[in-house]
Structure 1
Amino acid sequence: MTPEPYRLIPGAPDSPVLLHVPHSSRTIPPDVRSALLPDDAALARELDHITDAHTAPLAEAAARRCGGREPWRFVNGLSRLVVDPERFPDEREEMLAVGMGAVYTRTTHGEPLRPADTDPGPLVTRFFEPYARAVTEAVADRIAATGRAVLVDVHSYPSARLPYELHGDGPRPPVCLGTDAGHTPPWLVAAAERAFGGFGGTAPDTPFAGTYIPLAYYGDPRVTGLMIEIRRDLYMTEPGGEPHDGLDALATALAALVDAIGAHRDRTGTERD
């Protein structure tokens, strides 16, 4: 059976929130797996390090706990070792320097994953482009229904720096808030700081920066976004183990953020303030 590449899980018709979960899966189609260099044990170790484990059930639990409108969810069904939907498939992406552009050729530890001369085109056409179109359509649908779209990008990251991290020498807070100068208004950052304040603190754009906005809507004031990067020791056994009680508390915090996003619009009638 061909694995499902992505899923859009409906929320409340009047919710502007789209929880985007791009890196939670370990699934790799067999024909893609056959082109990867590591043996099964090495690949399993890499998946432990690279996968944002349990972020899909975290987003699901948060959606169920919202006191207001349940958010929509867009969940990647495939591992980021197939393609990474949040990279750029061209030479401008700085992660190409470590072999981790849209199609990875190196692991988190700098070891070969695919041949360095792999042509990314077939995988970009087959997986990356349909995914990007589907997220764009989901955002368009939220704008049509509510007049805006708020993407909350749900990630996790390891407590210890991995070799591939280009900017990993700064603080590693319990929750990193990734922002975009044009799409992350101060009120959204403040709402996240309140929601996740009980976990020992948040910090902006360290060790990872930015947030995912579909290119078709980049610069569109109707679309705002924020990346939530949760340090993995808060909710699971690293590098790829089972979740613990922290997952439950984090789901409650994420639900509080979603509710705050809805309440902000209800109070002000706008979100760009």
Structure 2
Amino acid sequence: MKNFVHSVLSRGIRASLLAIQPQESTSDFAADPQAPPPVIVEEGSIASPIVLAAPHAGRYYPDWFVEAARQPLDDLRSGEDSFTELLAQPAHSLGPPLVRATFPRVLCDPNRAAWDLDPRMFHGPIPPFIRPTERGLSGLGSIPRITGNYRAIYRSRLPFSEAARRIATYWMPYHTTLARLLQHTHQQHGQCLLLDLHSMPDAAESNMVDFVLGDRHGTACARHITDRAEQTLRALGYSTARNTPYAGAYITQQYGHPSKNCHALQIEMRRSLYMTEKTRTPHEGFQPLAQDLAVLIGSLLEHMG
């Protein structure tokens, strides 16, 4: 983890940014005239070995992006994990720091590898360090080609320089912040647990359970920690599943190393527990779920000593 940020920068971002020519037009995707809000770190107690994160909670949609997209804002928001950072506030008050992205995943997704991109999105030369996965090729890479409801975002192909700019502007600060915080936590306690907070729609593929715990089939988080999380949630009356259909993506894979006492657990919460998904408004279940999340984090803090 120590050299993670530097290694990503040296492999690609620096090279691609240097490759951007001043005369190259980015059409409607020029630099944002309004500076975006920064990645926010809400400091918690150094006594906590747990770090909370909400990578898909961002609701800052730049005007230039909305105006240039072919889909309306409501469709652009279809993959948003709305209000997960607010749900985490009672848990955050117990001590764990909270990191959240303010930018939306449809603009840049920090839960994908930096260069997991669909080359068909771009016109002009494509750098050799692009490494698309199956997910990236499907249109859901670090710079998504489609929305959460599978609709094309753009009217035409982008210059690759736009992808490089977003990785440098959004993806990189998020991971720099998160990696440094986890490193500091591990140095302080000899262990760390990242709880990556997400939400999921009421859909058949989610098995309609209340929570899905993703530990990448035991490779990102020690089993006794996942067991404790599941036992606590079930004692609170929630239904749970493990790794199906959400086993965890780039973030849990990158930061979860149980052999080094670095654990990462993705927590997917059913949206209808706390909000009306069609209107994206919290309902009466919001506060009870937020309080139960605090019970979960309290249980995990106790478990980790």
TM-score after normalising by structure 2: 0.75
Matched, 1:46 2:76: yes
Report SS of the residue matched to 2:165.
helix
Q: Which has the higher contact order (CA 8 A, sep 6+)?
A: 1
Is the 2:103–2:170 contact (alpha carbons within 8 Å) kept by the matching residues of 1?
no
Q: Which amino acid aligns with 1:112?
A: A
- Give the 3-state SS of the residue equivalent to 1:154 in structure 2: strand
Please give the alpha-carbon distance, in whole angstroms, between the structure 1 residues aligned to 2:43 and 2:105.
23
1:143 aligns with 2:186: yes
- 1:57 aligns with 86
Unaligned runs of 5+ in 1: 162-167, 267-273
Q: Distance in 2 between matches of 1:10 and 1:43?
A: 32
Structure 1: distance between partners of 2:65 and 2:273? 32
Q: 1: CA distance between counterparts of 2:259 and 2:180?
A: 15
Q: CA deviation at 1:85?
A: 0.2
Root-mean-square deviation (CA), in Å?
2.2
Q: What are the within-5 Å matches in structure 2 for residues 1-273 of structure 1?
A: 1-38=34-71, 42-47=72-77, 49-64=78-93, 66=94, 70-88=95-113, 89-90=115-116, 91-114=131-154, 117-118=157-158, 119=160, 120-160=163-203, 168=205, 171-180=207-216, 181-197=218-234, 198-210=236-248, 212-213=251-252, 215=254, 218=257, 221-266=260-305
| Contact 2:79 2:149 (C-alpha < 8 Å) held by counterparts | no
Per-residue CA distance 1:191-212 (angstroms, 9 max, x = gap): 2112322344100012221252
Amino acid at match of 2:139: G
Give the Cα–Cα distance (whole angstroms) in 2 for the partners of residues 217 and 191 of structure 1.
17
What one-letter code is carried by the residue in structure 2 that aligns with 1:72? P
| Amino acid in the other structure paired with 1:50 | G
Flag structure 2 segments of 5+ consecutive residues without an equivalent.
1-33, 117-130
Taking a change above 3 Å as real, the CA distance of residues 175 and 216 of structure 1, as seen in their structure-2 partners, is: closer
Contact 1:195 1:253 in 2 (8 A): no
Q: 2: CA distance between counterparts of 1:17 and 1:200?
A: 22
Bigger-Rg structure (1/2): 2
State the one-letter code of the partner of 1:249.
Answer: P
Name the CA distance, whole Å, in 2 between partners of 1:204 and 1:116.
Answer: 39
CA contact (8 A) 1:23 1:155 kept: yes
Residues in 1 aligned to 2:253 and 2:36: alpha-carbon distance in whole angstroms: 24
Give the C-alpha shift of residue 133 in structure 1: 1.5
Give the deviation of 1:116 after TM superposition: 6.5
**Paired residues of 1:175 and 1:228 also in contact (CA < 8 A):** yes
Q: Which amino acid aligns with 2:149?
A: H
CA distance in 1, matches of 2:96, 2:135: 31
SS of equivalent residue, structure 2 residue 219: coil
- Point out the more displaced range, 80-89 or 177-186: 177-186
Q: Distance in 2 between matches of 1:114 and 1:192?
A: 40
Alpha-carbon contact 2:75-2:147 (below 8 Å) kept: no
Residue 165 of structure 1 corresponds to none
1:257 maps to a residue whose letter is: L
Q: Distance in 2 between matches of 1:33 and 1:72?
A: 31
Change (3 A) 1:34 1:71: same
Deviation of the 1:33 alpha carbon: 3.6
Aligned residues: 251
CA distance in 1, matches of 2:221, 2:135: 23
Q: Tell me if structure 1 keeps the 8 A contact 2:42–2:98.
A: yes
| Structure-2 separation of matches of 1:80 and 1:3 | 14
1:34 CA drift (Å): 4.4
Q: Does structure 2 retain, via aligned residues, the 8 Å contact 1:183–1:221?
A: no
